[in-house]
A and B are shown apart, each in its own frame.
Chain A
Amino acid sequence: MADSPPSRKARLAASAAVPDALASLRLDAIDNIFSRLHIYDVVRTSALSRAWRRRWESLPTVDLTHSPGISASNIDALLLRRGSTPVRAFRLHGRDPSWTALSYLDDWLLCLSRRGVRDLTLGFPSSRYGLFRLHSSLFSCRELTRLSLTCCRIPPAPAGFVGFPNLKALRLERVVVDAREHAGVEFASLMAASPVLEDVEIVCVKLQRDGPDDEWVIRAPNLRKLSILGAYEYGGITEHLPLLEEATFFGPNYAKFLTGMMKHALEDGSG
C-alpha cells in the first residue's frame, strides 16, 4: 500500500483519522526515547512520514553510546546534517583508535563548542600508545554544565581562559591533566573559575608535575559532593567548602584533605 500514493485528499483524511502518538509526544520525551537508540534507528525515522522527515535533526541530544559499529564518517554526516542546530548533550565512547589519530575528534569538539554543548561525555579506548590528547577547544565550551571525560589527556588551559561559568558536575576518570607549569595549580584554578560546581569526582587522575609537597587549594563555594579516588598523591588541600554534604576519599590523599576540611569546619564553627 505504501508504494501506491493515495490522492492528496485521501492522505489528509487518513492522517487525521489515525493519530501518530509518537509524534504527539513532547520534544523532551522524544529526545529521551531517541537517546536510547542506535543512531541508525534514529536517522531512519526520516522515512516514517513527512512529519518525521527532519524531526531527529533538531533533537537536543546526540547520544552515540548505543551505536556500536558507527564510523567517523557517519558522525561527520550526522553533525553536518544537523547544520547549526544546537547540540545540548553529546555522548560518545570512542572505540576506534583511528578517530583520535586522524583528528576527527578535534573537529567534532570544535563543532560542539560552536553549537553550545552543555552536557559532554567523552570516553576513549585505552591504548598502548598513550592517552588521546583532547583539543583545547574543550575550553571554548563555555556553556558546559556537565563534563565527564574518561581515558584522555586534558591540555593546558589557553591563556585568558576564564573558567566554565555554568559547570555543575565534573567527572574525570583515568585522565592526565597536562599543564605548562603545574597541573595541580591549574586544576585548582579551573575549579575556582567554575563557581557553580556542585559535584566533582576524580578517579585515577594524574596531575602533571604535582607531588605531595606541592601546594594548591580547592576552593569551591557551591561544592556539595567531592570524590577523590586513586593512587596519585596530590599536593592540594581542600579549603572553604561551606556546602559540602558528602566526601569520598580513597587512596593516599584522604588524611591531608580531611585535615584541611576539619580545620576549616572548626574555623567556620568558631567564627
Chain B
Amino acid sequence: MEVDKGKGEAEETRKVAEADRDTVTLKSSDGKLFEVSKEAAARLSTVLAGMIAGGSIDDNGTDLKQIGSEALENVVDYCNKHANSIPSAALISSSISFNTAPFKEPEEWERKFVDRLSHDALFDLVEAANFLGMERLLDVTCHKISEMMKGKSPDQIREVFNIKNDYTKEELEEIRQELAWAFYDD
C-alpha cells in the first residue's frame, strides 16, 4: 500500500487487493499466521469454502482456535502442495467418482506427505482435517493409520499406538475364544 495516497483511496486499494488476493491467512490457536492458496483451501475444505463464500475470512488472520500451529502448518502445506500438483485423471474427472470406492487411494505425493509425520503430528492432522471438513486429507491420514494396523497382532498394535493392556490373562483368553473366528493365526 502506498503511503502518499489519501486514506480513502488507500482503503479502496486495499479492498480491491483483498478481493483479488489468491491466498487467505489462517491463524493457529497459538497465534501463528499461515498463508494458503484460496483456490485449494476452498476446494479441499468445506469449512474454509464456507468461510470464503460467506466473507468471514479475516485478512489479518482467520482464527482457527481448535488447531495448533504444527497441525495448521501441515494443513496449509498440504493445501499448497495440492494447488501445485498435477491432479490425476481420477481427481479431474468427476464422472469417474462413483466407480471408485468412497475412500479413494492416496496419490504418491500424499503418501510421502504423511509418511514423514511423527505419530503425534499424524493424529493432530486427522483432528484438524476433521474440524475443517477436509475429506480428502482425512482419507489420506486415515489410510496411513490403517496401514500401521494392517495384519498386526494385538500385541504389535498396542506397541505401535502405546496402548496399555489392562486385561487379565483370563479375560484375554475369554475374548480370543468368543471371537475365535477372527483370531485364526496367532
Contact = CB atoms under 8 A, between A and B. Distances in A.
Interface of A: 1-5, 11, 14-15, 18-26, 28-29, 32-50, 52-53, 65, 73-74, 77, 81, 89, 91, 119, 148, 169, 171, 199, 201, 225, 227, 246, 248
B130 A28 contact: yes
A73 B143 CA distance: 28
A105 to B, nearest CB: 19
Given A22-B163, A40-B182, A49-B166, A32 B149 contact: no
A73 B182 CA distance: 11
A44 to B, nearest CB: 5
B184 A33 contact: no
Interface in B149-173: 149-155, 157-158, 161-169, 172
Contact of B103 (A25, A35, A74, A225): A35
Contacts of B95: 225, 227, 246, 248
A5 B161 contact: no
B161 to A, nearest CB: 5
Contacts of A46: 175, 179
B126 interface: yes
B123 interface: yes
A65 B102 CA distance: 12
7 contacts: A5-B169, A21-B161, A37-B146, A40-B183, A41-B151, A47-B176, A65-B101
Chain A interface SS verdict (over half): mixed
Question: Main SS of the interface on chain B?
Answer: helix
Contact of A22 (B145, B152, B155, B184): B145
B119 interface: yes
Contacts of A201: 98
Contacts of B165: 1-2, 48-49
Contacts, number: 129
Contacts of A199: 98
A26 to B, nearest CB: 6
B142 A11 contact: no
A150 to B, nearest CB: 11
B88 interface: no
B90 to A, nearest CB: 16
Given A11-B166, A45-B154, A49-B158, A33 B149 contact: yes
Given A29-B130, A171-B98, A49 B146 contact: no
Contacts of A38: 150-151
A26 B127 CA distance: 8
B120 interface: yes
A199 B102 CA distance: 14
B56 interface: no
Interface of B: 94-95, 98, 101-103, 119-120, 123, 126-127, 130, 138-139, 142-143, 145-146, 149-155, 157-158, 161-169, 172, 175-176, 179, 181-184
Contacts of A39: 182
Given A22-B161, A47-B183, 20 more contacts: A3-B169, A5-B167, A11-B166, A14-B164, A21-B123, A21-B161, A25-B127, A26-B127, A29-B126, A29-B127, A29-B142, A38-B151, A40-B182, A40-B183, A41-B149, A44-B153, A45-B154, A46-B179, A49-B158, A225-B95
A153 B120 CA distance: 48
Contacts of A22: 123, 145, 161, 163
Given A41-B151, A48-B165, A36 B146 contact: yes
A24 B154 CA distance: 18
A104 B79 CA distance: 46
A14 B162 CA distance: 11
B155 A2 contact: yes
A230 to B, nearest CB: 14
A184 B166 CA distance: 60
Contacts of A34: 146
A48 B103 CA distance: 26
A65 B103 CA distance: 12
Contacts of A20: 161-164
